Chains A and B, each alone.
Chain A
Amino acid sequence: MKDKSIFEIKSLDLFYGNFQALKSINMELAGGEITAFIGPSGCGKSTLLKTLNRMNDLVEGCRITGTVRLMGQDVYGGMDVNLLRRRVGMVFQKPNPFPMSVYDNIAFGPRTHGVKKKSALDSVVEKSLRDAAIWDEVKDRLKKPALALSGGQQQRLCIARALAVGPEVLLMDEPTSALDPISTGKIEELLLQLREEYSIVIVTHNMQQATRVSDRTAFFLLGEVVEYAKTETMFSMPKDKRTEDYITGRFG
């Protein structure tokens, strides 16, 4: 998967009613890597993230032209949305566990996709929680309510829940912005481990986070991708003056 393109986005325009939120986006997201989307609020980075697993489908007045391909398959060309979201999982800014037990949160996805056998569910729950680096903290309280966990634990639980359906890609929309530095550090460590098996796209307002965890960074401004480069290059020698001005805090 590494070095292969996982998402291919071509001439993508997105409108919310008359407002154009994304303008002529052309980019390839590499597999086995962490890609960071950065930019000021309202620049289109979260909108593009949601476009990758069709989370915008439910937004009224949302219109998309151009193509988004996942491993060569057209995401907007008749692909089963449930299948798409199984392959492309999402983690949100605020941890959002379901009001049920830790176990049931993780088993929810596999059950929806038809897994009924207890041993199979047990195994997927344990693997997902281990992969999300939270197994040791919750293994003795699997039947306890997930909402009783701390914020950082809840967020790792949500990552485990996303992993439970066996995705290829994880989309993360500011996954640590509601967390304290210790929990943030744990999630960042986790991202670097998950990179071995999954491709990750992360929206972040924390530029130090982008430099710490991502392989490539895309800078968005007013619905356009201004610059898309290796993270080290972007943060040491950006090509575009607008990128330089944004990351050095001259605007935004």
Chain B
Amino acid sequence: MMRSRFDEQLNQLNENLIEMGAMVEDAITKSVKALKERDVEASRKIERDDHLINEKEKEIESLCLKLLLNQQPVARDLRTISTALKMITDIERIGDHAADIAEICVHLPVESHVTDIEPIAAMAKATMRMVRASIEAYVKKDLALAQSVTEMDDEVDELFIAVRQDMIALVHKDPNDGSEAFDIMQIAKYFERIGDHAVNIGEWVVFSITGIHKNTRIL
């Protein structure tokens, strides 16, 4: 009863994080679709909409700071709120990378020589799964799920290597495709970075549950 307002605000924090996670997932989905379809207008919209994710970050940041100020949280509450503050930095960077991918898509040639876009699509799918799992683990306080995010990153790293090999082969076949190969490589790198950010989120979620961050007790 006495902390009903506080619990209400913590629920609000969860809802906001779920919403921000859904926003970046959506940006990733749209960027892959724009890549597949070489849709310049859709790409530009992803870039334009990135500010919505940034605003969401500010909103959550403000909520967390208010909670720190008003509730002076300890124990689980302290870990929950400080974790949210760390998570949103990584989620926002994921949003930036989706916009970076879209920016590249704007300049890609309409006639593509990269026929197999599947490894990139698979990277997008895997990273989205990681983002969703890390936020779900936070909300449900599911330690096993949070820890699984790090393992999921192996798949993203393998796909990155596969894309790299494909692009090297493409350039070997026809050096004129070098520019496109380089762009696709950059996109793959952005997805690989998205995976790393999701791993960071997962590691902070582990902290929120166990008090231990990357095998170190911070407090």
Contacts and interface: CB of A to CB of B under 8 A. Distances in A.
Interface of A: 207-208, 211, 232-233, 235-238, 243-244, 247-250
A211 B73 CA distance: 11
Given A208-B72, A235-B75, A249 B2 contact: yes
Interface residues of B, number: 16
Contact of A232 (B72, B77, B79, B219): B219
Nearest to B7: A250
A236 B79 contact: yes
Given A248-B3, A250-B3, A237 B73 contact: no
Contacts of A207: 74
Contact of A247 (B2, B74, B211, B219): B74
B45 to A, nearest CB: 43
Interface in B160-219: 210-211, 217-219
B219 A211 contact: no
A211 B72 CA distance: 11
B76 interface: yes
A237 B219 contact: yes
A204 to B, nearest CB: 14
A174 B96 CA distance: 51
Nearest to B217: A237
A235 B3 contact: no
Contacts of B78: 235-236
Contacts of B77: 248
Nearest to B71: A249
Interface centre among A233, A236, A243, A244 (most CB of B within 10 A): A236
Nearest to B78: A236
A151 to B, nearest CB: 24
Interface string B58-100: 0000000000000011111111000000000000000000000
Nearest to A250: B3
Contacts of B74: 207, 211, 235-236, 247-248
Contacts of B211: 236-237
B37 to A, nearest CB: 49
Interface centre among B3, B75, B76, B219 (most CB of A within 10 A): B75
Instruction: List the 4 closest pairs (A to B, CB-CB), nearest first.
Output: A237-B211, A236-B219, A235-B74, A249-B3
Nearest to A208: B72
A244 B79 CA distance: 12
A142 B50 CA distance: 68
A69 to B, nearest CB: 32
A236 B207 CA distance: 11
A247 to B, nearest CB: 5
B75 A244 contact: yes
Given A232-B219, A236-B211, A249 B75 contact: no
Contact of A248 (B73, B210, B217, B218): B73
B85 to A, nearest CB: 15
B219 A249 contact: no
B197 to A, nearest CB: 25
12 contacts: A207-B74, A208-B72, A236-B79, A236-B211, A237-B211, A237-B219, A244-B75, A244-B76, A248-B3, A248-B74, A248-B76, A249-B2
Contacts of B75: 235-238, 243-244, 247-248
Contacts of B6: 249
Given A235-B219, A237-B211, 6 more contacts: A233-B219, A236-B79, A236-B218, A237-B75, A237-B210, A248-B73
A238 B73 CA distance: 13
A232 B6 CA distance: 22
B55 to A, nearest CB: 30
A208 B78 CA distance: 13
A218 B76 CA distance: 18
B205 to A, nearest CB: 15
B169 to A, nearest CB: 51
Nearest to B212: A237
Contacts of A237: 75, 79, 210-211, 217, 219
A247 B74 CA distance: 7
Contacts of A243: 75
A221 B203 CA distance: 34
A49 B129 CA distance: 55
